[in-house]
Structure 1
Amino acid sequence: MSNSIQLTEELKNTTCELQVDIDVAPYTSFRIGGKCKYLVKPKNFTDIKEVVSILKNYNIDYYFLGNGSNVLVSDNGYNGAIILLANNLTNIQVDGYKIDCEAGVALSKLCSVALDNELSGLEFAFGIPGTVGGAVYMNAGAYGGEIKDTILCCTYLDENNEIKTMYRNEMELSYRHSIFSDSKCCILSASFVLQKEDKDIIKNRMTDFMTRRKTKQPLEFPSAGSTFKRPEGNYASALIEQCGLKGYRIGDAMVSDKHSGFVVNVGKATCDDVLKVVDHIKQVVFEQTGYELECEIKTLGF
């Protein structure tokens, strides 16, 4: 029996749902990318530990994916295993001012639960199309708020396949970064401490933020959100617009004419199209302004 067949059989013998040679594009907000060798859908933390152990035994690369809202997958796909947390690890509990939730919980769901319990502090995250795990991983933020403002601790699977807990002051949370950003650790769950506030006030704040998003962001097209990190002392979108790049297009990848901080998929854009647009933006902005833009999107399959 070949290693590939044996590996597939071992994965099938777990309690996870397994798909082989599956298109990745539908699992990303960009709707771009080739096939991955294995797509694994765990039901609990034990499943994840077991799957990681199996993959390590066969020296197979793996990637933890939430809603795929900040990922660009190669046109050639990913010759490894994607462990999908979204729609799988979705338990959520409220205990007074604290909300405990698993990493696959959508941020919009977390915000709605907080609203229902008259808990304030996460309104900024309403409308961010990611999961709790992804939000902690990159310290997601918007409209003056960040995950670091409310997170208490998280449970994670470390690189030795052990489940551990880490508190906020250990997470190295900064702009679009955490201690997990450059590791193979998997965030399993997180706890947030919020504040009591009138439900109508919370709801109005959430509605305001969502209205701003719909008005200013190109939500009608697939994208990975903001393409570039905010450079110190300026804004990526302002620099891109200043350089006359709004609407710049290669294939079906285009700098949004609604918000130049977004590269969007206006049809059947390829990963190569997006990367060429990104490289062109970086080159032109540097040549004209001296700013070096840093892409915020994670790439997979390279």
Structure 2
Amino acid sequence: MLDKSKFETIDDLELKYNEPLSHYTFTKVGGPADVLAFPKSIDALQTLIEVARTNDLPITVLGNASNLIVRDGGIRGIVILLEQLNLVNIAGYTIEAQAGAPLIEVSQIAQKHALTGFEFACGIPGSVGGAVFMNAGAYGGELSQVLASCKVIDTEGNISVLRGEEMHWGYRNSIIREQNLIVISAKFELSTGDPAVILNEMTRLNQLRSSKQPLEYPSCGSVFKRPEGHFAGRLIQEAGCQGHRIGGVEVSKKHAGFMVNVADGTAKDYENLIAYVIEQVNQKLGIKLETEVRIIGEN
């Protein structure tokens, strides 16, 4: 039995119990969190982690829940959303953004301050913390190219700073993911540029995104990693899976690399459709697709 009193003495902390995570995910699926916590300060986050550790409760951080599927059984223990830790500061060519700041907003702030290098992120619907966690990228850019340092907290509540070269960057991977760290904030080193030119590039990328991606439906973003020498969407088309539907989830007719929630789909529908596509592409083309989307929680 969860002892609510352990958490309710923490200052600067909003709590919800047995809260459906479908209200917070881009897929609009996901069962309840035992405790959903919204820390409003780093002190509150640190205290929350300490309470969880001393009470042997697991912690899950969701980021902006944009490249994520939460299973229908939900998540036990404490789920943390850092959306209220969202301050962004500028110092010269450096932007420091807290983990809950939306990437899109950070790219807009960079443009207004004549800073270039962050345009690739102008349409990525994630948070800074989630983007660092998975080395998010688009249109030839990745977080690893601009991150100077990152402030993190571990499961013991210890805060430290990692330099960009210490991040163990990989394709949709970083040391944050490998070591179960939580991003508090990140510093990005950018360059000076012409605000009009930067804005034109952001407009171009956003038009490209809206013309190719099914933004009109709930989705988990790009489902599969790009196989070497191939595009996942094209392989899915060639295997005859585009438009295939299981339950309320469908392989997008607009972009086969996406799966969209078209009719009150469930996380199980997503997982079944992912398994079907992997099987069909492997069977027909001899290529094993790997998921990029993170799938967590209980069935």
- TM-score band, normalised by the shorter chain? over 0.9
Question: Which string of whole-angstrom CA distances, capped at 9 and with x for unpartnered residues, describes residues 3-36 of structure 1?
Answer: 523xx11211112001111110111111101111
Partner residue, 1:58: 55
Structure 1 residues 179-218: aligned runs within 5 Å: 179-218=175-214
Partners of 1:158 and 1:114 lie apart in 2 by 29
1:120 and 1:267 map into 2 onto residues whose CA distance is: 40
Correspondent of 2:87 among 69, 87, 91: 91
Number of aligned positions between the proteins: 297
Equivalences for 1:1-302 in 2 at 5 Å? Answer: 4-5=2-3, 8-15=4-11, 16-86=13-83, 88-302=84-298
Report the Cα distance in structure 1 between the residues aligned to 2:224 and 2:116, rounded to whole angstroms.
Answer: 29
Q: Which segment drifts farther, 207-216 or 156-165?
A: 156-165
Q: 2:49, 2:156 within 8 Å by CA — same for their partners in 1?
A: no
Give aligned-pair identity as a percent: 37
Q: What's the secondary structure of 1:225's corresponding residue? A: strand
CA RMSD of aligned residues (A): 0.9
Consecutive unaligned residues in structure 2, runs of 5 or more: none
User: Can you list the C-alpha shifts for 1:67-92, whole angstroms capped at 9, x where unaligned?
Assistant: 11011111111122111112x11111
Distance 2:43 2:28 in 1: 30
Alpha-carbon offset, residue 183 of structure 1 = 2.9
Point out where structure 1 has 5 or more consecutive residues left out of the alignment. none
**d(CA) in 2 for partners of 1:288, 1:219:** 29
What is the CA-CA distance between 1:159 and the residue it aligns to? 3.1
| Runs of 4+ with >3 A deviation | none
Alignment deviations for residues 170-209 of structure 1 (CA, whole Å, 9 cap, x no partner): 1011211111123321010000010111110000000000
SS of match in other structure, 1:224: strand
Give the counterpart letter for 2:77 in structure 1: G
Question: How does the TM-score come out when normalised to structure 2?
Answer: 0.97
Q: Which amino acid aligns with 1:285?
A: V
Question: Retained in 1: the 8 A contact 2:27–2:66?
Answer: yes
The residue type equivalent to 1:199 in the other structure is P
Alpha-carbon distance in 2 for matches of 1:287, 1:4:
47
Tell me the secondary structure at the aligned position of residue 168 of structure 2: coil
Separation in 2, partners of 1:182, 1:242: 34
Shift of 1:284: 0.6
Query: What is the TM-score normalised by the length of structure 1?
Result: 0.96
SS in 2 for 1:176: coil
Which whole-Å CA distance do the structure 1 matches of 2:123 and 2:194 have between them? 20
